[in-house]
Structure 1
Amino acid sequence: MTATPRTALVVGAAGGICAELSRALARRGDRLVLLDSDGAALKELAGEVAELTEVRTLNVDITDVRSTEEQLATLSGGWAPQILVNGVGGDTRVAPVTDLDEAFLTESLARNVVPVLTAIRLCVPAMRRAGYGRVVNFSSAGGRTYSHFSNAAYVAAKAAVVGLTKQVAYELAPFRVTVNAVAHGPIATERIATAWERRPAAEREQVLSKIPVGRLGTVAEAVGSVLYLCSEEAGYTTGTVIDVNGGLLI
């Protein structure tokens, strides 16, 4: 991949896939802006990648729109993001639709969709002016079909991320700003692995039987497609959803 240094803003940087992605971007030479609400984890990750590249941290909850606006307004000049990865969100609560209500859906949208729009609308103007940008949003296999690990509200929210991605990709294509989504299947992040181990062995076997490769994905495997979409080589790839799910959805 082309190694032209860029500035990358990683939202939800402090854990799971995004933490490993931040390390990979740092090794590639990109300058990093790491945003997360977990101050301790953010500080630890920043100390690690600071040995490889320039790094700034934004300790903010992106669902707090006003605070996010204030923090992102500090990014100017060389710190204006040319790469944006929206990795915040998730929900490991397994619940049937009969146990859900409107508040549950509203909460899921607030955690999984609204932050994507917030980050895009605040970062894209600078990308348009520069004539270059890479935006990668995290949907999920659930947003493409259904989920063994969550609930209908989460699936609806992640499906909304796909729709948002496609519309924004269409609008920004003339400005050389690509917008794509990655729909990860079950990836053995710390959060997913913990929820996985709590499930009865028979349920785990049933889930694995539906995944052709017969296992959960690794964090390293999850990062690869995201890293490509952040690269210059992805300039002709926009409005797409890359499925990384071991064959769960074919």
Structure 2
Amino acid sequence: MNIDLTGKIALVTGSNAGIGRAIAILLAANGAKVGVNCLNNVAQGQQVVAEIQSAGGEAVLVQADVTDPAQIDRLVSEVEQALGGTVDILVNNAGHLIQRVPNTEMTEEMYDRILNVNLKSTVFMCKRVLGGMKEKGGGRIVNMTSVAAHNGGGPGSSIYAASKAAVMAYTKGLAKEVAAGGITVNNVSPGFIGNTMFHATFTPNAARQSTIAGIPLQREGTPDDVAGAVLYLASELASYVTGETIEINGGMMMR
């Protein structure tokens, strides 16, 4: 079976760079019309749209903060209006560690920021698109968790890890809730993925080299490695897969 997403509308949050960018481009390459989203750096988002369009695809960029339900509503409405239908594929890629903070220094403001960008955004994005998916009789939702959800993450990232574990549990619950409507809900769980701002910002080179040395496949992952798993979950190949988590970590953590 070939993967053909022709006629499908996909929305990928946080897709102006890194993993989200790779996902948006790959979904478009397989026929989907893609809503590209960014919070900042509109120029990067425009570059993603231009790359999709230059390859013959269809895409639109909408700047929106996905921690704000009002902006989520606007984001989905603008994507659906521009692309001519309701969202078939939602990829909740937006997320952030924000800052490494030991629990002894954690503030309520930082706690809220971490939970909002990782969990709240996922919950309210799902809520917004489910009506359209139910009307169509099906849909695909792919959420983004992390290897940190299993091992607690690195120094100063316990709340981030907890938020990603919450996404994992939420995905299982939502998968049960919407299964009768033909909607699947799954997670992808990246390990150490290079060429992203996450590790460029938060991981010193010595820690990077040490981590790679402990990965059985002896390399860091790439955004395209993650995008391939998302494409599978978004396709008919995964029509009988729901509530699951695909680990993308080169053998770093086997479950």
Same fold (TM over 0.5): yes
SS in structure 2 at match of 1:136: strand
CA contact (8 A) 2:14 2:93 kept: yes
TM norm structure 1: 0.91
SS in structure 2 at match of 1:84: strand
Structure 1 regions of 5+ residues with no counterpart?
A: none
SS in structure 1 at match of 2:167: helix
Alignment CA distance shift 1:92-1:103 (3 Å): closer
Q: Does 1:199 align with 2:204?
A: yes
Alignment CA distance shift 1:129-1:188 (3 Å): same
Alignment CA distance shift 1:137-1:150 (3 Å): farther
Identical columns (%)? 29
Residue equivalent to 2:45: 42
Residue equivalent to 1:211: 215
Q: Does 1:25 align with 2:27?
A: yes
Aligned structure 1 segments of 4 or more residues deviating by more than 6 angstroms? none
**Comparing 204-213 with 82-91, which one deviates more in the overlay?**
204-213
CA contact (8 A) 2:3 2:30 kept: no
Alignment partners' CA distance in 2, 1:216 and 1:191: 14
- Name the aligned partner's letter for residue 144 of structure 1: H
Alignment partners' CA distance in 2, 1:214 and 1:148: 20
RMSD: 2.0
CA contact (8 A) 1:104 1:153 kept: no
Alignment partners' CA distance in 2, 1:110 and 1:95: 16
1:92 Cα deviation from its structure 2 partner: 6.0
Structure 2 regions of 5+ residues with no counterpart?
A: none
- Name the aligned partner's letter for residue 190 of structure 2: H
* CA displacement, residues 136-165 of structure 1 (integer Å, 9 cap, x when unaligned): 000011012221375111001101100111
1:96 Cα deviation from its structure 2 partner: 2.9
Find 1:116's aligned residue among 117, 122, 140: 122
Alignment CA distance shift 1:149-1:236 (3 Å): farther
Count of residues in correspondence between the two structures = 248
Find 1:233's aligned residue among 224, 230, 237: 237
Alignment partners' CA distance in 2, 1:99 and 1:217: 32
Alignment partners' CA distance in 1, 2:253 and 2:113: 27
Alignment partners' CA distance in 2, 1:92 and 1:70: 25
Alignment partners' CA distance in 2, 1:217 and 1:92: 21
* CA displacement, residues 13-35 of structure 1 (integer Å, 9 cap, x when unaligned): 11101111111111111111112
